[in-house]
Amino acid sequence: MTDSSSLPVRVLLLSESEAFAGFDKRALREAGVQDVQCLTSGVAAARALAKACAKDSPLPVVISSHKLSDMDGERFCAIVRLHPLLRTLPVLLILSSKSEAEQLKMLGCGASALLWRPYSIDALTARLVFLEAARRGEIRRDKTEGGDTRDFDDALATCGMLLKPVRQPEDFFQAGMRCLRQEQWSSAISAFQHAMRGDLAPGKAELGMALAWKGRGDQVRYRQYLADAAAIFVQAQQWQRARAACMQLFQADAAAKNPFLALAIQHLGQGDHDGAAEILSQGLEVTPRAHVSERIALFCMAADDPQALLHALTAGLEKRLGAQAHHIGDGIREALHALAQEREARKRKESAEKNWRASRQAKIAAGNRGEEKPSDKKHGGAGVPAERVPRAETFLPARPAPVPRIPLWEEPDGRLPNGRLTDDGENAEWAQNMRRVAAPGKSGEEGGASSKRGGDLFQIIRHTWMLSS
């Protein structure tokens, strides 16, 4: 339960009508506020607050609806902020919805806090506690510093119709910080985006944006905006803020770019050795010595005279760090010597590889010239080496061995070796005739010899006729 002492004693409630104010009155009573005054006119409310300032009376906490009888809540906040004694007046603006467009419209309008309908009693109580703390800690009214109220009076005379609320970057930044405290991350991001577009203290909006993204759980954008804030702080020479931002950055990302080293190297490139020494000396608290030695040595290696550059930088560091500068210079010299050795080793390796490639190409070229065909040499050596030309035999299938043909007359019984005439039924008549012709005659050897010759001739004719059929 909230302590009643932390709640405001008096609340000025602004609404479009008495009927619309009924719900807000009941909610305030449930939250623990007893003294509630209700008005429907923004002009009347602004005049009452100005009169209270003139009498040095305690100011109430103001709760305004988004719409009043004569103006809207945004214009009322703008009018109140014109009064020099009401610029820090706690004002809670209640909006009709929690849409992104409505939030963007109200950011930087001058309201101290925002609340959306429908709201809970707990949410209302939290806003009231916040506003009462702001009222007690921030409102410092002094009659001797009343200031000029003519702009305030002119705005009241026209009911603010001619007043265009001027939202400065600081207004958006303050709105973003209030959203951060209330853990309204999306509204805080929108507010800081508007603040970064204007002329604000360097790095403030980026740092607020980083915190808002961290609240939403986006670590990548958190580190991004934190690095931007650290770099801006270093550029602006806000050394304490820069070191604090760098420490947070390196805790989130140990491999993040060091803005002190980056800016110091930039000054070295411009020939500003004294400025580079100042930046390095301011960043030594958050920069490891090994990183300083390595980065500065790398830059010196690219210079025309590395030793002269290192001597000038060491002289600038000695003015600010004394004997500590000699240790930093020795570390840079050691890193510079190691880099020089690495470069020489790299050159030797590259030279050896180059010679090996040239030797290999020469051997390949010599082998190709030795294996050229004579026909290639006749044509100027432009032919393809013989070992690269495929032979025709490798692509043709092997021919089968020729089958010797047997003369028909070498078969004594008239049968062919392929078995076409092996059937005795088909060759019975032919075999009988062959035996009759081949039988020896009675007229002796001469007749037998002529018969044998005639039988051979008939056999040849018979074979030829059967094959042709």
pLDDT at 283 over 60: yes
**DSSP H stretches of helix in 270-408:** 273-283, 289-301, 306-321, 324-370, 374-378
pLDDT category at 100 given cuts 50, 70, 90 is low
Checking if the pLDDT of 204 tops 70, the result is yes
User: Taking 60 as the threshold, does the pLDDT of residue 29 lie above it?
Assistant: yes
CA–CA dist 183, 215 (Å, integer) = 7
Greatest mean pLDDT among 177-191, 260-274, 383-397 lies in: 260-274
pLDDT at residue 258 greater than cutoff 80: yes
Supply the pLDDT for residue 131.
87
- Over 70: is that where the pLDDT of 324 sits? yes
Concatenating the DSSP letter of every residue in 236-302 gives TT-HHHHHHHHHHHHHH-TT---HHHHHHHHHHHTT-HHHHHHHHHHHGGGS-HHHHHHHHHHHHHT
pLDDT for residue 219 is more than 90: yes
CA–CA distance, 296 with 299 (Å, rounded to integer): 5
pLDDT of residue 411 exceeding 50: no
CA 136 to CA 224: how far, in whole Å? 37
Res 165 pLDDT > 60: no
Q: Residue 408 above 80 pLDDT?
A: no
What is the predicted pLDDT for the residue at 394?
Answer: 47
Q: Looking at the predicted structure, is the pLDDT value of residue 416 above 80?
A: no
Is the predicted pLDDT of residue 222 greater than 70, yes or no?
Answer: yes
Confidence of residue 272 (pLDDT cuts 50, 70, 90): very high
| CATH 3.30.1280.10 corresponds to the domain 168-257 | no
Tell me where in the chain the CATH 1.25.40.10 domain(s) lie: 168-257
pLDDT score recorded for residue 374: 53
Three-point CA angle 120, 126, 129, nearest 5°: 140
Determine the average pLDDT of the residues in 374-382.
50
Other beta carbons within 10 angstroms of residue 40's beta carbon come to 18
Q: Mean pLDDT across the stretch 181-199?
A: 83
CATH tag, 1-167: 3.40.50.2300
- What secondary structure, in 3-state letters, does 213-229 show? HHHCCCHHHHHHHHHHH
Position 262 scores a pLDDT of 92
Average pLDDT over residues 274-283: 92
Question: Is the model more confident about 61 or about 9?
Answer: 61
51 or 160, greater pLDDT = 51
d(CA 442, CA 290): 134
* Range 16-24 average pLDDT: 87
Given phi > 0 = left and psi -120 to 50 = alpha, else beta, which region is 396?
beta
Q: Is pLDDT above 80 for 463?
A: no
368 pLDDT higher than 60: yes
| Average pLDDT estimate for 174-187 | 82
- Count, in order, helices (H) and strands (E) of the chain: 19, 5
Mean pLDDT in residue range 172-182? 82
- The pLDDT of residue 143 is above 50: no
Rounded mean pLDDT of the chain?
A: 77
pLDDT value at 323 more than 80: yes
Q: Which residues pair with 72 in a beta bridge?
A: 67
Smallest CA-to-CA distance from 239 within 222, 263, 274 is with 263
Predicted local distance difference test score (pLDDT) of residue 419: 46
64-94 pLDDT per residue, tens: 998 898 888 888 888 888 888 888 888 999 9
**DSSP labels, 43-97:** HHHHHHHHHHHHTTPPPPEEEEESB-SSSBHHHHHHHHTTSTTSTT--EEEEES-
Through-space distance between the first and last CA atoms of the chain, rounded to whole angstroms: 128
Tell me how far apart the alpha carbons of residues 215 and 254 are, in angstroms, rounded to a whole number.
21
Average pLDDT of the residues in 214-239:
93
Where are the CATH 3.40.50.2300 domain residues in the chain? 1-167
pLDDT attached to residue 302: 85
pLDDT (tens digit per residue) in 383-403: 555 455 455 444 445 555 555
Q: What number is the average pLDDT over the span 266-290?
A: 90
Highest mean pLDDT among 338-342, 397-401, 461-465 belongs to: 338-342
